[in-house]
Chains A and B, each alone.
Chain A
Amino acid sequence: MVAKGRWLGLAALGALSACAPEETGTVVRYMAWGTPQQLALEKRLCEAFSAAHPGVTVRFIQTPSSAYHNKMVLMLASRTAPDVMRVDHYDFPAMAAKDYFHPLDALIAKDPTYRLEDYFPGATEEGRAKGGLYGLNVLFGSPIIYYNKDILKKAGLGEPYALWRRGEWTWDAYRRYAKAMTTKDARGRPLTYGSFVNDPTARLAVVYSLGGDIMRDGRVVLAQGKALEAFRLLYALRFKDRVEPTAAQSANSMFAFDGGKLGMAVDWMGVTPRLCEAARFDWDVCPLPVAPGGTTLVKGNQLVMSAATRHPQAAWEFMRFMTGKTVERRLYVELRRSFPTRIDVAKSPDYLRSGDRPPHHLDAFVSSIERGRVLPITSRWAEWTTEFNSALEPLFNGTASNVDGTLHEAQRRANDALAVQEGL
């Protein structure tokens, strides 16, 4: 009876191993989330790397973005994390502080073919923690203005891109455009809105564009100076000019850029492939207006190596491959997913050349990145932004109208959160 059970067990094992893909030698596990097109491409890239590196197999673990954060936290805490993984930069500083990641400086020093100067400084800066480099930036980008050229034409306006090229693209011009692109039917019901800046980080991009600061000396200063001005502007767009859909109107995607009902929308460069597929109208991009002393905002995600990896060299080879010229061309030139971190790829004729399909002016992306400033993301980012954004909700929902008072309250709540000892 026992012998029979043993044979059955062996047979089951054999059947299982017959189903599993052939993995010999060193296995590098790689985990990422992404759009279906991007994941399909990454899978092919993993296979290409494995084929080009005999003795090394990359096992690609695709995880839905909704479950990614929790899965990664649990895997890192239990020291079962994949050798290489992509980490959202919002999470990176907190995780790096816990020594979850393998330092990369020594690996870079040993690799004469890898030069940090090949990458945009902002991209490299984000990967630093505790005085060293722990992440290679991927899916880098900046919030940018997407505009609907059909609505623009109906409003009889010139292209924002042209204004930007002439140095005339200011927030006043943006407001003028947004008003002209907001239309209503005979009964006064909105048909199109001219503007939409809804993502909390896109709002911070407006703060940067006016020259405001988010934090100073470890404290949130969003209710001060130019930052406060930025929130006054954002409030005015929605409730004074009435050129933005309200929270209720934008719920359930009733007024979405993809649907052709928004004249201009500030969104991340990463949505470009989705618009290429979904938008049934002509559209283009231009940078956010930048006031004197202002900057754009940049943020990426980090490709990191687990501190618990048993194959640091193979993992490094794979990381280098994923941030190399070939992969960046596939991901960012062909798929248009976010923005290349490599300067030569971003400035190559291939990247800048636009075909008949939008976006038509890729140099707007390059300019946004070059003038970009990184976010002051620390391990406490999630704590204070949760408080801050929560306190701001009444303002952007239209139930509070005192911009300065609401901002001061939001800033107080954010700083109160930061004053609490970490972890409590």
Chain B
Amino acid sequence: MRRQARWGWLFVSPWLLGFLVFTAGPMLASLFLSFHVYDLHSMRYVGAENYRRLFTVDPVFLKSLRITVVYALLAVPLGVAGSLALAVLLNQRVRGLPLFRTLFYLPSLVPSVATGIVWQWVFNTDNGALNQGLGLLGVPPIAWLQDERWTLPAFVLMSLWGVGGTRMIIFLAGLQGIPESLTEAAALDGATPWRRFRNVTLPLLSPVLFFNVVMGVIGAFQIFATAYVMTGGGPNDASRFYALYLFQTAFEQFKLGKASAMAWVLFLILMAITGLQFYGSRRWVYYEKAGT
């Protein structure tokens, strides 16, 4: 048994070493730094000052947190619903299904920097495809990326670009795991397609839905590359999302203590939200138990 344990440790050691050096170590180092002022040159202990200042002094931090929360509240439900709808459509028996699946998955293969540049064109006030389209409906041009009232909606809209990506594939896999006999039985009992979806498909898909919501929230809080490329956080901090502000604090201003405190605040926020989601999931997520 001990010999087996030794082999076990040996096989797991590359991952363990990587985790200690590249994840746990930096995490502990950032926790240490979050109580200091550190600019790569000198270090000074300041206690919880970095944390206090984030919530009481730094208006950009609060704005950044607020827009990230609003973004998550809008982008995650819309994105999850969009992915689910697309997965349901792609789960139908129609001709050319593999082609459709490929086509819908393609946008998610585009690197986010390239996506950002393409969407900059789409959102251009004067010549962008979006305003050209809206113009046909009589809508006056919108300064999507220049008017701070429209910047956040623009990013939410752009997030829908990825509805056909990995999240949709996971939904599709979940849908294909639902036994047809159950939906057929419901149909024989006279259930309409909507009732079959609402009362049979959705409960059976709820673990997958839950997984996608949890991952979606975490992903939404980490939005970075597109904002970095498209607006750099502007106008007037309207797109300075949390991860972008954290990056700029750490690697443009070199305020590594403050940035570490921000990273830990983000970690705690995500832990709390995920914990709440797990707590709430008892009411709406159904797991099939063995033997049932």
Q: Which residues of A come within 8 Å of B, CB atoms?
A: 70, 73-74, 77, 98, 100, 246-249, 251-252, 254, 382-383, 390-391, 393-394, 397-399, 420, 423-424
Contact = CB atoms under 8 A, between A and B. Distances in A.
A394 B236 CA distance: 7
B235 A382 contact: no
Contacts of A247: 143, 146
B148 A252 contact: no
B234 A390 contact: yes
B253 A383 contact: yes
Given A247-B146, A397-B146, 7 more contacts: A98-B41, A246-B126, A248-B145, A248-B146, A382-B253, A420-B57, A423-B255
Given A252-B121, A420-B57, A398 B258 contact: no
Contacts of A74: 40
B270 to A, nearest CB: 25
Contact of A252 (B46, B120, B251, B255): B120
Contacts of A248: 124-126, 143, 145-146
A382 B149 CA distance: 26
A382 B233 CA distance: 15
Contact of B148 (A249, A251, A254, A394): A394
Contacts of B257: 423
B41 A399 contact: no
B146 A77 contact: no
B235 A393 contact: yes
Given A77-B41, A383-B253, A423-B37, A390 B237 contact: yes
Nearest to B254: A73
Interface residues of B, number: 35
A213 B245 CA distance: 30
Q: What 7 A-B pairs come out closest when comparing CB atoms?
A: A248-B125, A77-B40, A393-B235, A397-B146, A423-B37, A98-B41, A399-B147
Nearest to A77: B40
Interface string B107-146: 0000000000000110011110000000000000001011
A377 to B, nearest CB: 16
A391 B258 CA distance: 22
Contacts of B44: 423
Given A73-B40, A248-B125, A424-B46, A397 B254 contact: no
A399 B143 contact: yes
Given A74-B40, A249-B126, A390 B146 contact: no
Interface in B208-249: 233-237
19 contacts: A73-B40, A98-B42, A246-B146, A248-B125, A248-B126, A248-B145, A251-B124, A382-B252, A390-B235, A393-B234, A394-B236, A398-B147, A399-B149, A423-B37, A423-B39, A423-B257, A424-B53, A424-B255, A424-B258
Given A70-B251, A249-B126, A252-B124, A390 B40 contact: no
B260 interface: no
Contacts of B127: 254
B201 interface: no
A393 B234 CA distance: 8
Given A70-B251, A424-B37, A394 B143 contact: no
A182 to B, nearest CB: 16
B50 to A, nearest CB: 7
A98 B39 CA distance: 10
B36 to A, nearest CB: 10
B126 to A, nearest CB: 6
Nearest to A70: B251
A236 to B, nearest CB: 19
Contacts of B253: 382-383
**Residue of B121, B251, B254 ringed by the most chain A CB atoms within 10 A:** B254
A70 B146 CA distance: 28
Contacts of A382: 252-253
A25 to B, nearest CB: 32
A409 to B, nearest CB: 10
B121 A397 contact: no
B61 to A, nearest CB: 12
Contacts of B124: 248, 251-252
A275 B53 CA distance: 47
Nearest to B41: A98
Interface string B49-68: 11001000100000000000
B26 to A, nearest CB: 16
Contacts of B258: 424
A35 B39 CA distance: 30
Nearest to A406: B236
Nearest to A409: B236
A424 B146 contact: no
A390 B236 contact: yes
A382 B40 CA distance: 17
Contacts of A390: 233-237
Nearest to B144: A248
